[in-house]
Chains A and B, each alone.
Chain A
Amino acid sequence: MSSVELRHLSKSFDGDRHAVENVNLSIHEGEFVVFLGPSGCGKTTTLRMIAGFEFPTEGQIFIGGEDVTRVPPRRREIGMVFQNYALFQTMTVAENVAFGLRQRRLGRAAIDARVDDMLRMAQISAYRDRYPAELSGGQQQRVALVRALAISPRMLLMDEPLGALDQKMREIMQVELKQLQQRLGITTVFVTHDQQEAMSLADRIVVMEGGKIRQIGAPTELYERPNSQFVAEFIGKNNILTGTIKDVSNGACIVNLAREVDVAVQRPINPRRGESIVFCVRPEHIDIVRHSTASMDNAVVGTVEQTQYFGNRTHYLIALESHKNVLVEKARSDESFSVGERVGISWNVKDSLLLDA
């Protein structure tokens, strides 16, 4: 297995604006890295540059310390799983898996043994002589995966490989994929636009937008400490609020949201009175109380606008007097609120996170 390094990687098509701009990234041996971002963010282009299907306009790519920037894909020794699986329709499952081995001119016996091993590993030995069109989506997915792994690649690239599966199958495959990756210890780069998928699979997530990397970090890090409004909104549900600094105390500063509404949030490094700031609070970190009861310390008053019941939790959409809506998540339903009810919401100062605007 190999480490991967991307240095100042840029790519532009037709001399147009950059599809990928100055991407720098080090991937450790055996690491599972997920490129996450909306469509057109440059994640697939970056993956295709690692695979060798695109050459970068600028920058370098190292795999296992070797500069492969201009090496054609067939000599990169990389396994790739495509969004549409790209299984050869005119070949059987076994022939698909054997394809890469045949290119390496291995002996018949060696190829057969390797193919049998791979099929057994993916539990698809029974489909050995079927054609791809005769398999279900999940089975095709497995064939595509072992075909890529059969050549013992230096690393594995996956381009939205689970996108075509239904929700249930996708979750099953996520678990299998993660287990397999850990067992083989293969360096893996996985592209997706689904943040939940990214969270469940990745050792580290690379959030991309507009061809640039916005943040790199472990799932918990990105969830708990997003560095920008984009990441805060893209990963999980979040409430983005804006206000102006009114007063500064030791641990926190008082922010004015609207006319009479003040809340305490984390203290910025260099707070200046009158400065406008952006911060976020996760829905599950917000407490909700009846307006009449409780001490309304650091609480904002609002009206329940909408409720959504999910069984294990309930979402409340609260309309504040500043006309901003705030989403609140309550884990248990021992206390419920109804639409139109006046409520107070509050949060711990440490759960309010300041963001770059």
Chain B
Amino acid sequence: MRMPRLSTVIAVGALAFLLLPFIVVIGASFDTSNQFAIQFPPRNLSFMRYTEINPKYIDAVINSTIIAVIVSLLAAAFGLAASLGIVRGSLAGREIFKSFFRLPVQIPLIVTGAVFLQFFSWIGSFTGFYPARSLAGVVLAHLIVTIPYAIGSIAAMLERLHPSYEEAAQSLGASNWSVFWNVTFPSIRPGVAVGLFYAFAVSFGDVPIALFLVRDKTMTLPVQVFNDMQVDFQPSILALSTLVIILSLVMMLVIQKLVGLDFVLSSRQKR
């Protein structure tokens, strides 16, 4: 038998390293050997941790979900408009536009968070409207950093759609509106789906931006967990995290079924 390649050994190790944190969290969530301490590998398996999830986490999950849903829908809409302009538009410096619309992901997230904290209070100081007092603040801040992800997957799809499809529709008598709804949009729908998915994931998981913008009422799940991990770690967080992990896996499977893994991978917006 041939010796396994060194690269294969490293790959197995890397995969184990990447999965390790999730296995630990999932495993520890079923441990009930000690009320207050965390134990991995788990003993005395039970669902006890799942029954004592603190209501503040439920509120945080609801907030995070609302934010992520609004953000992903808006990001997909703006990303669609930008992609159509960049890929199909008649532009002198196409590459410059591409780089410009990619800018938000190249700024460290912590900087973006600080920027919006300052910007929103500056806006509030002369309009009386303080976005950070409601979910709007986090939504706006997340929107600008998720649009590049939406552009990444939608533009990738649009580049694969040869202009002759739109021309064929035109020559058959379709108006611009009809060309878009009957030909362009149906063809790039997978790109839009992946864009929605990435935008949702980025928004739902963000700490460094939301940290600056949330208050008690607008608390998001990652920030709540982040805060509690530093001061008051409750083992029921493990149960909630396990649910988030399972939900993410399910979403991943659904999106893969819909558009295929190759496309999900190839259209990932590079930071």
Contacts and interface: CB of A to CB of B under 8 A. Distances in A.
Q: Give yes or no for direct A-B contact (beta carbon below 8 Å).
A: yes
> Which DSSP category, helix, strand, loop or mixed, fits chain A's interface?
loop
Contact of B174 (A51, A74, A86): A74
B167 A82 contact: yes
Contacts of B172: 74, 99-100, 103, 147-148, 151
Interface string A316-344: 00000000000000000000000000000
Interface string B153-197: 000000000101101111111110010001100110000000000
Interface in A63-108: 72-80, 82-84, 86-90, 99-100, 103-104
A90 B168 contact: no
Contacts of B173: 74-75, 77, 100, 103-104, 151
B162 A84 contact: yes
A78 B182 CA distance: 20
Interface string A218-250: 000000000000000000000000000000000
A150 to B, nearest CB: 8
B171 A74 contact: yes
A76 B178 CA distance: 17
A327 B165 CA distance: 45
Contacts of A90: 186-187
A86 B172 CA distance: 12
A103 B178 contact: yes
A212 B186 CA distance: 40
Given A74-B173, A74-B175, A99-B174, A80 B168 contact: yes
Contact of A73 (B162, B167, B182): B167
A88 B166 CA distance: 9
B181 to A, nearest CB: 11
Interface residues of B, number: 17
A54 to B, nearest CB: 10
A309 interface: no
B167 A88 contact: no
Interface size grouping (class) on chain A: 20 to 34
B182 A86 contact: no
Contacts of B167: 51, 53, 73, 80, 82, 86
B164 to A, nearest CB: 4
Nearest to B168: A86
B2 to A, nearest CB: 40
Contact of B164 (A72, A76, A84): A84
Nearest to B167: A53
Contacts of B182: 88, 99
A234 to B, nearest CB: 27
Interface string A38-63: 00000000000001110000000000
A86 B174 CA distance: 14
B164 A82 contact: yes
A76 B167 CA distance: 13
Contact of B171 (A79, A84, A88): A79
A82 B168 contact: yes
A86 B175 CA distance: 17
A99 B170 contact: no
Interface in A158-212: none
B164 A83 contact: yes
Nearest to B186: A90
A88 B165 contact: yes
> Which of A78, A83, A100 has the most chain B CB within a 10 Å cutoff?
A100
Nearest to A150: B172
Given A84-B162, A99-B172, 17 more contacts: A72-B170, A74-B171, A74-B172, A74-B173, A74-B174, A75-B173, A76-B171, A77-B173, A80-B168, A82-B167, A83-B164, A88-B187, A90-B187, A99-B169, A99-B182, A147-B172, A151-B172
Interface of A: 51-53, 72-80, 82-84, 86-90, 99-100, 103-104, 147-148, 151
28 contacts: A51-B167, A52-B170, A53-B170, A73-B167, A73-B171, A74-B173, A74-B174, A74-B175, A75-B173, A80-B167, A82-B164, A82-B167, A82-B168, A84-B164, A86-B162, A86-B165, A88-B183, A99-B169, A99-B172, A99-B174, A100-B172, A100-B173, A100-B174, A103-B172, A103-B173, A103-B174, A148-B172, A151-B173
